[in-house]
Structure 1
Amino acid sequence: MSTSTTLPEKAPPSPDCYYPDTSRIKGQHGDVIWYRDLDSDSPAGLSSARSNEFVAYVSESVHGEPIAVSGIIALPKKAAPPGGYPVISWAHGTVGSADACAPSRDVAGGEAHRFNVFPHVLLNKFLDRGWAVVMTDYEGLGTAGPHPYLLGESQARGILDIVRAARQLHPEISNQLAIVGHSQGGQAALFGAHHAPEWTPELNLLAVAALAPASAVGALVNLAALSTEKPDGGNAFVALFVTGALAGDPSIQLADVLTPEALALYPHVEQRCRLGLSKPDSWGQFAGCELLKTEQNASRIALFKQFEAMHPNLVIHAPIRISQSVPDKRVNAALTTILVEQLKDTNGNDKVDYKLYLLVSLTHDPKELGFHFGLIDTDSDALTAWLAERLPKVE
């Protein structure tokens, strides 16, 4: 971690702040490229924060290339305690892969807006406790390059490096860390916790919490490929899964794995948010059996190898908390329960807490997504209390 005392440069206005020249992307991973206060009218900011800052910071792709990643740093209104603010690194759920979908770029009425603001009630509770909150956009989401959706190591680096960047800007942030995420971010949080000891050894990871974490990607794609039905936008996720697989193994040839029809629409992943991908003029038009070629070849084998590597059954040296709602239509509760049992086998029964909700609050529409996102609201108090037992107290 850099020990430079020189204050980084103030970032230019959006969208230029997301695309620093390659000459600026240097130093150690976690170094700040530039930063600025988030626009006062930006819906991306947290209402309980003393300050919300945009930050672009150096990270590293899984192939060792320096990259710029963007995100937000939010400081609590409480004064920093003697040991510094504990910090929560938040891992967001699926918004898509197009740059406009990035949480830090959120605009009222935007295609990803309602998904980006769902977690604010939870994140504001963290701030009210006196915990700093950092929120990565992840690699390639907002910044240059494709977003490697569900590629665990890539997401982990974004989650961890923004903590380094925040501490570089704000010495009052301590090294006492918890990672929390929902859906895509739940899977990402588990990977962040797995990679933390090696990637950011100076951070003291005290807990990881995953709400409705994505899992069993390979099994889900195999199941989808057998279906002759067109789910309500569900097959857009397959397009996103492929972005992560390609980043993990660039030798995969899309023409060898996607049908000609799906291949023709694959560029939409960099042009549309997830809702846009689900529309009838995009991946929403496909039945599952229309997505992938069926013949075995090297690229198909490599594709499913990457899908299997996205499954978050990992060695984690911190307490783990998983929560899930039974009626969730987006992340299957049975798959999450299987993941929990795997994590217990891998890490020990006493290391994993599992909270399964038979009912959740439906404060958001549509109803099916409400079961998925309603978990955040329903679990927010219990999750915050669990974290408070593991993080240093802030008076």
Structure 2
Amino acid sequence: MLKNPIRATVVATLAASTMAAAGFAPATAEAPGSLISVQAEAPGFHGLDRGSSVEYWMTDSAGAQRKASGAMFLPAGDAPEGGWPVVAYAHGTSGSGPGCGGQADPELGGLPQYRAAEDRLLKRLVDQGYAVVSPDYLGLGRFDTGPHPYLEVRSEATATIDLVRAARAANPDLSSTWSAIGVSQGGHAAMSAAHVQAEYAPELDFRGVAAIDPASDVEKILPLLGPTTPAIPGMSSATTSFVVSILAGLRATKPELDIDSYLTPRGKEIVDAAGGQCLDEIFVSTKGVTSSQLLARSLAPLRDPLAAYMMLPTSGYDAPILLSMNVTDMVVPSPLHAALVAQLAANGVDQQVVTGNGQHGSASPNQLAAIDAFLARVNATPTQR
């Protein structure tokens, strides 16, 4: 349930007004990727001139149809023959509650300091002639469907792919040719979409994925946590925030795991609240919280469920991957980046790696140029409708 009453009112009002303006009655569940509504936004939406908010149906990890929202951006001018190729942009960690995704409604959500960099990347892609779609993800948009299943591979993938489908239903000038790019959690989401797209959406023509500092191998670390885990100097609040977000999503998705039994009373209060909070609020609620204050027992028994929930696949890709990684990353440390590269290489995955020395999620001019060249290369053959 959304804890912030102001945000709850805004989200509910936006959803109702958007559907009413578009002439839609409340929808019953339809096929994944079905369009609920599309609303052209005023110039300046995410700093772009041709942006729209989109509401659509997506599939959750249990196979149920759920309402979701996102954004769509079009290049200037007329579409080329065959339509604009589509790039799905997957955003980084933003929280667990409605309105936190910041795509359909950029004025909502937390961490606005990252919005400018995100909007610059969106503009860069649009200026290169791509139609760009950007999902809020399940639970982070206009619909209160429960806590966002943070870092859940399946729903991240379906939220992304089903928005591509919905955007094409909204505008026939979008090609069936598409690729994906994501930052941090979004890198995890984009790669998850790349892994399942062939079986989930065979009608689309997927070309490749670029991931900037993707989250990976976290599921191998979490089972090591318990009440006696020492604090990590300078990182305890951020680390605890991510752990809390994962536990809130896992609890909502897999109630049979009895996540509450792993939490202290204070830990349960924090996880309860996190389900309706954006990341800046979760940061505040976890500041100074130690493992002994959060966890009543070791998370070791959750090793297999965590792997099933969030493990990024390292084989089975049928399109090329570009990994843009910062060796000085303190959020997804370089050993985890190196482990991902090594696992993909061992499985013969077609990957290209470009490195930088910036902060987590950043991209230097050289890294951006490599991403530009990668997307141009994979989209070099004619697009399809």
C-alpha root-mean-square deviation of aligned residues, in Å? 2.6
Aligned to 1:271: 276
Letter paired with 2:376: A
**Per-residue CA distance 1:24-45 (angstroms, 9 max, x = gap):** 0332110100111124454xx2
Contact 2:223 2:298 in 1 (8 A): no
8 A contact 1:176–1:204 mirrored in 2: yes
Matched, 1:175 2:176: yes
Aligned partner of 1:261 in structure 2 is 266
State the distance in 1 between where 2:291 and 2:18 align: 35
> Is 2:110 the counterpart of 1:111?
yes
Deviation, 1:382, is 1.8
Aligned to 1:129: 128
Structure 2: where are the runs of 5+ without partners? Answer: 1-11
Matching of residue 25 in structure 1 with residue 28 in structure 2? yes
Q: Indicate the residue corresponding to 1:388 in structure 2.
A: 376
Q: Which residue of 2 aligns with 1:72?
A: 71
The alignment partner of 1:179 has SS state of: strand
Greater Cα shift, 133-142 or 120-129: 120-129
- Residue aligning to 1:81: 80
How far did residue 229 of structure 1 move? Answer: 4.8
Number of aligned residue pairs: 361
Could you tell me how far apart the structure 1 residues matched to 2:196 and 2:17 are? 28
Q: Which residue of the partner structure matches residue 249 of structure 1?
A: 254
Distance 1:147 1:277 in 2: 13
Q: Could you give the per-residue CA deviations for residues 42-65 of structure 1, whole angstroms, max 9, x where no partner exists? A: 4xx242x5x111110011211122
Aligned-residue offset at 1:332: 0.8
1:91 partnered with 2:94 = no
Whole-angstrom distance in 1 between the partners of 2:281 and 2:92: 16
Matched, 1:311 2:311: yes
Give the aligned partner of residue 325 of structure 1: 326
Aligned to 1:238: 243
Structure 2: distance between partners of 1:378 and 1:273: 32
Moved more, 185-194 or 141-150: 141-150
Letter in 2 for 1:382: A
Matches of residues 308-387 of structure 1 in structure 2 within 5 Å?
Answer: 308-309=307-308, 310-314=310-314, 315-346=316-347, 348=348, 351-357=350-356, 359-360=357-358, 371-375=359-363, 379-387=367-375
Report the Cα distance in structure 1 between the residues aligned to 2:57 and 2:364, rounded to whole angstroms. Answer: 30
Change (3 A) 1:207 1:213: same
TM-score, normalised to structure 2, is 0.86
- Which residue matches 1:148? 149
Report the Cα distance in structure 1 between the residues aligned to 2:186 and 2:35, rounded to whole angstroms. 23
In structure 2, C-alpha distance between the alignment counterparts of 1:35 and 1:356, rounded to whole Å: 38
State the Cα distance separating 1:232 from its structure 2 match.
3.8
Aligned to 1:365: none
What is the CA deviation profile of residues 289-329 of structure 1, one whole-angstrom value per residue up to 9, with x for unaligned ones? 43323257xxx62x332322312133211001111111111
Q: Which runs of 5+ in 1 are unaligned?
A: 1-11, 361-370
Tell me the equivalent position of 1:162: 163
CA positional deviation for 1:95:
0.6
Query: Cα gap change, 1:235/1:26 in structure 2, threshold over 3 Å: closer, same or farther?
Result: same
Percent of aligned pairs with the same amino acid:
29
